[in-house]
Structure 1
Amino acid sequence: MSLIDRVRYSDFHPLIMSAEAAAALVPAGANVGMSGFTGAGYPKLLPQALAARARAEHAAGRPFKISAWTGASTAPEMDGLLAAADAYEKRLPFQSDPICRNKINAGEIHFIDMHLSHVAQQAWFGFLGEMKVAVIEVLGVLPDGRLIPSTSVGNNKTWLEIADKVILEVNTRPPLAMEGMHDIYYGTAIPPRRTPIHMTHAAERIGEPYLRVDPSKVIAVVETDQNDRNSGFALPDAVSTQIATHIIDFLAHEMKQGRLPKDMLPIQSGVGNVANAVLAGLLNGPFDNLLGFTEVLQDGMLDLLRTGKMRQASATAISLSNSAYEDFERNIDFYRERIILRPQEISNHPELVRRLGIIAMNSMIEADIYGNINSTHIMGSGMMNGIGGSGDFARNGYLSFFVTPSVAKDGKISCIVPMCSHVDHTEHDTQIIVTEQGLADLRGLSPRERAQVIIDKCAHPDFRPLLQDYFDRARQKGAQHTPHILGEALSWHERFLETGTMHG
């Protein structure tokens, strides 16, 4: 299908141009809103052209940098290229590219790590500054100028509304039959005019299938014919499968105790191999008529939909392996009836997470013995990816799991420590911690009770005696609500930085 067939709004035809010509319209120093959420629906050609422009400007002795706002992470051909070209002044709210990460940790890029549910509203409030240009991937343009969204929605609705100017990348590669899969809600408002979101079921549609844009804002239309990166996420291994087994057994127990309904509650699965292992466990588990209410639809959720174990899945992005994406395209009519793609201000909205009773599962870097969680920082200072949506779900979910292997770096690092080197989620937001060693149910426990359960259930045997020794000695002096030895609390991290291991 040609670009003209995809762009059916004739007023945009004179704006069709090359990516290089469109990149020349982006001012240096601008805040630029980009589409994209976890490797899906990001602009493919504009970032490459902006990177080339940045390199040319720098070679000529002229500065050229932008600040990029997205939904979440993108892909190497965006974040990687622009970071390598020294084209980023600032980045928000999430990234996962190694080049971008290294430059953030070297102090060469300012990074604002944000709860994903906060981004759109803070942009609307004016807290983040003025957005000069939005660069948004879409699948097509209707005759009346409305836009057919792509494989992610993310913050696209907000970027199109608040940006001074808009560049559209029309991607002709994804199937146009995705049209109708999206549900774009236009009922949000700024306080004090904000009203409740009228949604009481995870599969309920509350918006419309298309994005809106003021045609006078559009300054360029660029054709793209490229798939998303479609690398998928790591497959479950023995450790992640064991973690998943603990979670599935726990859910079955909660259902038996009457604390979960027979049809389960909607599931948010996070991303990564543990999340896929949990979804695989659900595929063979005793639960039926499942619902997904999550951020990213991965291979495992597609399997659940295909087999009928899950009847509907709501997300803001589709990020699949190549084989799963081929299945998605082949059976697009089937999946269009069962998948709803929403803006992330809906998929991650705390009001909806609490109302719908979401069961949330998110990964972490480390937990301390009292249940504080570090999701973002390596050894207290180095950014990994970002907090993402974990906080949106952890604080508001009906059940909230934080998961990690008990050790890292070939057993040199314990992921259960006396005190977290950085805290993203306090003990007050942590219900359940799971490692391959076991599951610690922290509901209704005091700090000292939590500590003993976490040590007993989640710590690796190589580190369990050291944690027990620390906890026992901490209880011998000082205040006893949350016992600590301040001079030792972070000594495990210091020891790793000095010797390469946390072992004493």
Structure 2
Amino acid sequence: MSAVKDRASTRIRCPALLEKIMSAEDAAALIDTGTTVGMSGFTGSGYPKAVPQALAARIKAQHAAGRAFRLRVWTGASTGPELDGALAAADGIEFRLPYNSDPVAREKINSGQMEYFDMHLSQVAPMAWQGFLGPLDTALIEVAGIAADGSLIASSSVGNNKTWLDRASQVILEVNRWQDPALDGMHDIYYGTALPPHRRPIPLVHPGDRIGEPHLRCDPAKIVAIVETDAPDRNLPFTEPDVAARGIAGHLLEFYRHEVAKGRLPATLLPLQSGVGNITNAVMSALLDGPFEGMTAFTEVIQDGMLDLLSAGKVEIASATGFSLSREAAARLNAEMARFRNKIILRPQEISNHPELIRRLGCLAMNGLIEADIYGNVNSTHIMGSRIYNGIGGSGDFARNAYISIFMTPSTARGGAISAIVPQASHVDHITQDVQVIVTEQGLADLRGLSPKQRAEVIIANCAHPRYRPALMDYYTRARQGSYGQQSPSLLKEALSWHQRFIETGSMLA
């Protein structure tokens, strides 16, 4: 044990906690079936990696012995295969919130074997404090280190860690040596939130404002185990932007130039928010060659493109709650962490996604979609209306409160078999009132100030693929003639027929 303590002491500088060091298997044994575990992790960064795998092995052994063992799992957002994938494959998750992108867990959810509560990310911490989600038994949190006073140096994401540490009955820590020690000082943990009627304005008026503390607080009496690890975050490669991604980025940059020329945006733009994915990452890359300087970001996630903008000095400061980087970008960040530490602030997601702050700062929200209908309702979570793909994440937090709410997608999917622009969205996550701009490689539809019928004509003309445009126009024309009402003309028998045709034939084309 002394050798383990000596080895860990570079990251665990609180002598009183050294006696809590144990194996991942011993730590996993402290988690009981039927309990709720709040785990760290946001978009594949800063999630525990060793204990969940040990827990999955324990669950498999329990199942093999004929004993039930399942958990309720809360996180910040998506995690990695060592957590969601391992526990889902072991059939160890009974209930999951607030976001999932793991393919194994997705299949369990869509087959009805796992209950899933898809939430706005800004609402998770408040609902946990309000008690609506029930008690939290264990917090399982990855950290980069433990300071001499027992405070915790957060890892590559903050997410809901502050809330889990405060609410949980017991705490298990993974101290990951892979995480760069220079992360210390990058975090800003704000402890000023409260429940009604005691809420006060959050004192943040610029993305670069620091309003909290550099470390997470944790009652040392609640810490029951510390596991030392040395494992990388999940790194997903970003593909080279294709023709569609470059087209979308080009249309959006031209839109920003136009808004600046009209005086509706400053030359530095307003704080950028970008969802996760290749399309939004391509937009960030395009901004690298654009005319805008002195930009800022108030977003959820730092991706490769944002890191490039920070490195080039195009973006001066970026506020987020975690990273989502390729392997190459993660290596570059770790190699230059001391330099980036002054340009990046990582906050709890109840702050990074807070509606009050998004509205105050006037963010430019750029998020992806699965489909949009001709009136601008957006589906960002479900395939053909009933199969969950990922989750709403923070897109709703930003879309409703942004200065400009933008949704982007290629105009077709599955080799042209699916149109991203449909007569009626099969599931609605963002109502038409929260969607101001839609962009595909075909063009950009500025929907601000337009009535539903005006929106339909602009979306069909600018965003739909030419292969689907005549059918959309035909539907819209007939809807105007035969609809029950004329505010948002609809043919109820046909509105979802494109989705049914795809399910039956494999294509939306007639």
Q: How does 1:164-179 map to 2 (within 5 A)?
A: 164-179=169-184
Which residue does the alignment assign to 1:11? 16
> Is 1:22 matched with 2:27?
yes
Which residue does the alignment assign to 2:88? 83
Which residue does the alignment assign to 2:423? 418
Give, as a single letter, the amino acid of the residue that structure 2 aligns with 1:323.
Answer: E
Residue 468 (structure 1) aligned to one of 459, 466, 473: 473
Residue 489 (structure 2) aligned to one of 483, 489, 496: 483
> Is 1:43 matched with 2:57?
no
Instruction: Give the unaligned 5+ runs of structure 1.
Output: none
TM-score, normalised to structure 1, is 0.99
Instruction: Give the unaligned 5+ runs of structure 2.
Output: 1-5
> Is 1:212 matched with 2:217?
yes
Q: How does 1:134-213 map to 2 (within 5 A)?
A: 134-213=139-218
Partner Cα separation in structure 1 for residue 41 and residue 209 of structure 2: 24
1:400-426 Cα shifts (integer Å, max 9, x gaps): 111111011110111100000000010
Residues 232 and 319, structure 1, Cα contact 8 Å, conserved in 2: no
> Is 1:500 matched with 2:506?
yes
Which residue does the alignment assign to 2:290? 285
Percent identical across equivalent pairs? 61
1:348-375 Cα shifts (integer Å, max 9, x gaps): 0000000000000000000000000000
Partner Cα separation in structure 1 for residue 350 and residue 77 of structure 2: 12
Give, as a single letter, the amino acid of the residue that structure 2 aligns with 1:30.
Answer: T
The DSSP-based 3-state class of the residue aligned with 1:410 is helix
Which residue does the alignment assign to 2:3? none
Residue 391 (structure 1) aligned to one of 396, 409, 424: 396
Give, as a single letter, the amino acid of the residue that structure 2 aligns with 1:405.
Answer: P
Q: Offset of 1:231 from its aligned partner?
A: 2.2
The DSSP-based 3-state class of the residue aligned with 2:366 is strand
The DSSP-based 3-state class of the residue aligned with 1:222 is strand
1:249-271 Cα shifts (integer Å, max 9, x gaps): 00010000000012210000111
Residue 362 (structure 1) aligned to one of 362, 367, 378: 367
The DSSP-based 3-state class of the residue aligned with 1:395 is helix
Partner Cα separation in structure 2 for residue 407 and residue 147 of structure 1: 46
The DSSP-based 3-state class of the residue aligned with 1:68 is strand
1:204-257 Cα shifts (integer Å, max 9, x gaps): 111111000011111000001111022243332211111010000000100000
The DSSP-based 3-state class of the residue aligned with 1:67 is strand
Partner Cα separation in structure 2 for residue 425 and residue 127 of structure 1: 24
TM-score, normalised to structure 2, is 0.98
Q: Offset of 1:180 from its aligned partner?
A: 0.1
1:138-177 Cα shifts (integer Å, max 9, x gaps): 0111111100000000000000000010000000111111
Partner Cα separation in structure 2 for residue 421 and residue 137 of structure 1: 38
Partner Cα separation in structure 1 for residue 142 and residue 98 of structure 2: 18
Q: Offset of 1:18 from its aligned partner?
A: 0.3
Partner Cα separation in structure 1 for residue 395 and residue 19 of structure 2: 43
Give, as a single letter, the amino acid of the residue that structure 2 aligns with 1:131.
Answer: L
The DSSP-based 3-state class of the residue aligned with 1:352 is helix
1:361-398 Cα shifts (integer Å, max 9, x gaps): 00000000000000000000000000000000000000
Q: How does 1:214-229 map to 2 (within 5 A)?
A: 214-229=219-234
Partner Cα separation in structure 2 for residue 114 and residue 419 of structure 1: 23
Partner Cα separation in structure 2 for residue 2 and residue 428 of structure 1: 56
Q: Offset of 1:2 from its aligned partner?
A: 2.8
Q: Offset of 1:326 from its aligned partner?
A: 1.6
Partner Cα separation in structure 2 for residue 234 and residue 295 of structure 1: 21
Give, as a single letter, the amino acid of the residue that structure 2 aligns with 1:219.
Answer: V
Q: Offset of 1:325 from its aligned partner?
A: 1.4
Root-mean-square deviation (Å): 0.9
Partner Cα separation in structure 2 for residue 235 and residue 291 of structure 1: 24
The DSSP-based 3-state class of the residue aligned with 2:426 is coil
Pair 304,402 (structure 1): closer, same or farther in 2 beyond 3 Å: same
Q: Offset of 1:4 from its aligned partner?
A: 1.6
The DSSP-based 3-state class of the residue aligned with 1:36 is coil
Residues 234 and 272, structure 1, Cα contact 8 Å, conserved in 2: no
Which residue does the alignment assign to 1:94? 99
Q: Offset of 1:330 from its aligned partner?
A: 1.6
Which residue does the alignment assign to 2:328? 323
> Is 1:432 matched with 2:437?
yes
> Is 1:274 matched with 2:284?
no
Partner Cα separation in structure 1 for residue 430 and residue 395 of structure 2: 9
Give, as a single letter, the amino acid of the residue that structure 2 aligns with 1:406.
Answer: S
Residues 2 and 172, structure 1, Cα contact 8 Å, conserved in 2: no
Partner Cα separation in structure 1 for residue 239 and residue 323 of structure 2: 15
> Is 1:261 matched with 2:266?
yes
